[in-house]
Amino acid sequence: MDLDFLLEHVPEPQLAAIFGLLVGAVFGFSAERSSFCLRAATVEFARGSLGPKVAVWLLTFSTAVIWVQGAGLLGLFRAEEARMMAVTGSWSGAVIGGLYASGYSTEELEKLALDLDWQQVLSDDPPRQDVPFRRKQDDRDFLVKRKLSFRDDGSLGLPLGVIQGQNLALLLERLLVHTSDTRDFDRLPIPFRAVATDIANDQKVIFRSGHLPQAIRASMSIPAVFAPVEIDGRLLVDGGMVDNIPMDVARSMGVERLIVVDIGSPLLKREQLLTVVDVLNQSITMMTRRNSEAQLATLRPEDLLIQPALAGFGSTDFGRADQLIDAGYRAASALDGRLLTMRSESGGNPALSLARSAEPRTPLISEVRIENDSKVGDAVIRRHIRQQIGKPLDLQDLQKDMGTLYGLDYFEQVEYRVVHGQPGNTLVITTREKRSGTDYLRLGINLSDDFRGDSAFNIGASYRKNGINELGGEWLTRLQLGDHQELFSEFYQPLDAGSRWFVAPNLFAETQNVEAIMDNDPIAEYRLQRYGYGLHLGRQIANNGEIRFGIGQAWGEADVRIGDPELPDFNFEEGYYQLQYSFDTVDNVDFPREGEDIGLTLRQYDKGLGSDERYRQWEFKLDKAISHGPSTLVFGGRYGRTLDDAEVVTSSFMLGGARQLSGFRQDALPGQNISLARLIYFRRMTPRSFLPLDFPLYLGASLERGRAWNNDNEFDSGYINAGSIFVGYETPLGPLNFSYGLNDEAERALYMNLGRSF
C-alpha cells in the first residue's frame, strides 16, 4: 500500500488533513509528558547524583520515530513527505519538536539521540583539549575538581543549578544555526510553541517567537538541576511546573486531534516512603501530576493516548536505547488501527522539504559582534574567535572556541547566534559574567603509604582572583602542608588580548626532606628550606602549552634531620636563569586516554645573580597516551642531569614510589642525575557512565627501568628494572590507586596513593 493507492480511494483533502495531523501530533506531542522527567530529575538531584534524567527524551522520541519508520517500511506512508500542522512542548517535547519543526528528519533525530556523547552534553566542562593551558595546570596541582566561587565583595557564590547548561546550549545553537533568522515560530517549516515557567511568579510563558535555541533551553530548565534561563528580565524554568502537557496550547494553534504519549510514573506506595527525600519526591510528583491530569481530562474521543510499558527502565538508561525504542514501538503498534486512520494524503510540505535539502546549514559570516558584560575586555573575547570574515560559519572551530572561552572561568555562559540582516550574516558572541563570582578556591590532597611505616601526606589549597583588569590579569596563591610544604604566589598579567604574551612575577617558600646518599647507602636526611622570588616572561602556544624565560633568586638552609649529628648544616644562596617549555594535550590527568604531556626545563645557576655555585641543570618529562577501546598504553619517562659539580642536597632530583621505580618507597632515590623509562597499561573495567559524575574502575600494570647517580661522590644505583600491578579508581578527591611493586634490587612494596601518581 502506498500514497497513490490511498489517493485513489480517499478524497485528497481529507487524506491530507489526516496525514498532516498524524505526523504532526506524533512528533510534537509524543514528547509532551515530561512529568516523569521532572520528577526523576528531582529525585536524582536530591539523592546526590548530578545527571539529569533525559531518558524520557529518548523514550518519547523513539515512540514516534519507530512508528513512523515501521509504517514507512510497510509502505503506509512516506515520512519525508509529511506535513505537520503544529508542534508544542516543554522539556523533551521542546527539544524534539523544535528540531523536527526546524527541518530535521526522523533519521537525523534518531542518529542524534543514539550517537551524542550525553555525558559531555549534560556537563558544563568543555573537552580538556579546548581548555586554556593555564586552567589545565590547575588540574595537576589540585585534584579536587569542584571549586568554591566568591563574588567581588568576598561573599560565597552558589550557582542557581547543578548544571549551568553550557554544553547543552552550544549543542542547540549548533543544531539550529540555520533558524537563527526565524524569530516568528509560525514561520518555521512547521509551526512551533515552547512552554516555560516564570519561577518568580509561577506564570506560564508560551514562546511564539524569539531565538529558538534559547526558547528550547528555557523550556527544559529542570529546577535545581539546570540553571534558569533569563529572557527579558524573567527567570524561566521547565514548563512542566505549570503545564506539563500543553494540550491547550496545541488546540489554540488550530490542532483538532492530538496524539499524547504518557510516560508518567505512579506515586510511591506507603511502604516505599521511607525517608524525607522520598516524601519530597512524592510531593513533587503529586504537584506535577495534578496539572498533567487536568490536561489529560480534556482528551477527546478523536484524540489518541499512548502509554509505553516502562517497568524495569531507569531514566538514565541511555545504553538501553534499543530496548527503549522497542518499548515505544510496541505501545504504538497496539494502536495501529487508530493511527492508520490519522494518515494524511498531503503531497508534502514544501518548506519542510526545502529545510531538509542538501544546502548546508552554514551561513556566510560578514561580521562578528561581541556582547559582553564581564570584567574582561571585548578584545580578549574576539581574540579567541577564529571565525574569518567572508567565510562560511565554521561550526567545528566555533564549538572549540566556545569551550576555550568558557574554560577561562570568567563567564556563567558563553553563547553564539547568527543574525541575518541587510549587510549579511552577523555572528554574535554573547558572554555573561558569573553571578556566583569569578574568584575560586580549590582544594587538593595527596597521600602515599607503602604499608611499611613510610608515608607521605600533603593537603593543599589554591585561591585564584580572576579578571583583575580587562586583559584578564589574575593572582594565584597556593598553599600546601604536609611532607612537602609550599607557599607560592604569582601575579599573571597578559600583555595582549588572548594572553599570547604574559609576564608573571612570583614569590615562593618550600620545605621538604632530602636524603644524602654515599656509596649507595643513605647517610642522613636533611630538612631543606628554600624561599625566594622569580620573574617570568612567556608566550602561550594556543591552548596546548607555553614557553617561559625567567630569572630567580632563592635563599635557604639545610639542617640534618636524621643521621650523624656531626654532619654539617649549611646555608645557601641561589640565582639562576631558566627556560621552561610545557605542552599538555591529554584528555585526563589521572587516567589519560589520548594526548601528550611534555615538560622541558633548562636552568643555569650563575654567581652573577648571587648564586654560591655555578652549575647547569636540565630535566625532560614525557607521557604519551594511546588507547583502543577500553585499553590504554602510556609510555614515557623522565631524564634529569646536573652538568657541573654542585651541592648534592640542593641539586638532587627524586625517584622512587609507585610507577617511579616501583618497589622503592616514595622519593627513596635522590640523585643529581636520574633517568626513568616506563610503559603503563590500564583498562577500564566499568562501563562508561552517561552521568556527569563518572567514577570508573581501572586495572593496570607497569614496566619501568631507571637509574640515579651523583657527580661529586660515588653514588650510582645502576640501572634498575621494576614493575607493578595496580587497581585505580577515580574519586571526587582524585585518583585512588592500590599498587604492588617490585624491582631487581629485591625491594618490594604495597602502595596506596590518593592523588595523582603517574
- Give the CA distances from residue 108 to residues 96, 111, 566, in Å, rounded to whole numbers and listed in that order: 11, 5, 79
Half-sphere exposure of 387 (CA within 13 A, CB side): 32
Residues 6+ apart with CB under 8 A from 217: 165, 168, 169, 172, 229
Alpha helices in 269-368 (DSSP H): 276-296, 321-333, 336-340, 350-355
What is the torsional sign of CA 138, 142, 144, 146?
A: negative
CB neighbour list of residue 242: distance below 8 Å, 6 or more residues apart: 195, 197, 202, 203, 204, 291
Cβ neighbours of residue 409 closer than 8 Å, sequence gap 6 or more: 135, 438, 440, 466
pLDDT in tens, 281-292: 677 667 677 777
Q: Which of 170-174, 585-589, 602-606 has the highest mean pLDDT?
A: 602-606
Written as one string, the DSSP assignment of 476-505 is EEEEEEESSEEEEEEEEEESSTTSSEEEEE
Q: Of 300-304, 558-562, 594-598, where does the model show the most confidence?
A: 594-598
pLDDT at 22: 52
Alpha helical stretches, state H, 102-246 = 106-115, 118-121, 133-141, 166-175, 212-219
How big is the CA angle at 460 (ends 456 and 462), to the nearest 5 degrees?
160
Q: Is the pLDDT of residue 258 over 70?
A: yes
Residue 38: predicted pLDDT: 39
191, 185 contact by CB (below 8 A): yes
- In whole angstroms, give the CA distance from residue 218 to residue 417: 16
pLDDT tens readout for residues 503-552: 999 999 999 888 776 655 667 788 889 999 999 999 999 889 999 999 99
151-165, 180-194, 260-274 — which one is most confidently predicted on average?
Answer: 180-194
What's the pLDDT score for residue 551? 96
For residue 556, what pLDDT is reported? 92
Is the pLDDT at 61 greater than 80? The verdict is: no
Q: What is the reported pLDDT for 336?
A: 81
Q: Identify which has the larger pLDDT, 19 or 256.
A: 256
On average, the pLDDT of the chain sits at 78
Residue pair 455/448 in contact (Cβ under 8 Å)? The answer is yes
Which among 526, 531, 517, 563 is positioned nearest to 674, based on CA atoms? 517
pLDDT grade for 122, boundaries at 50, 70 and 90 = confident
What is the reported pLDDT for 624? 96
Note the pLDDT tens digit of each residue in 338-351. Answer: 877 777 655 566 66
Q: pTM of the predicted model, to two decimals?
A: 0.71
So what's the pLDDT on residue 488?
A: 94
Q: What is the mean pLDDT of residues 698-709?
A: 95
Q: What percent of the chain stands above pLDDT 90?
A: 23
Q: Is the pLDDT of residue 404 over 50?
A: yes
CA 18, 22, 28, 34 dihedral sign is: positive
Select, from the ranges 13-22, 25-34, 110-119, 367-376, the one with the highest average predicted confidence (pLDDT): 367-376
Q: What is the pLDDT of residues 72-96, one digit of tens each?
A: 444 444 433 334 445 555 455 677 7
Q: What's the rounded Cα separation, in Å, for the pair 20 and 644?
A: 84
Q: Is the pLDDT of residue 600 over 50?
A: yes
Name the DSSP letter for residue 267: P
What is the residue type of 676? L
Q: What digits encode the pLDDT tens for the residues 431-474?
A: 988 877 888 888 777 776 666 666 777 788 889 998 888 888 99
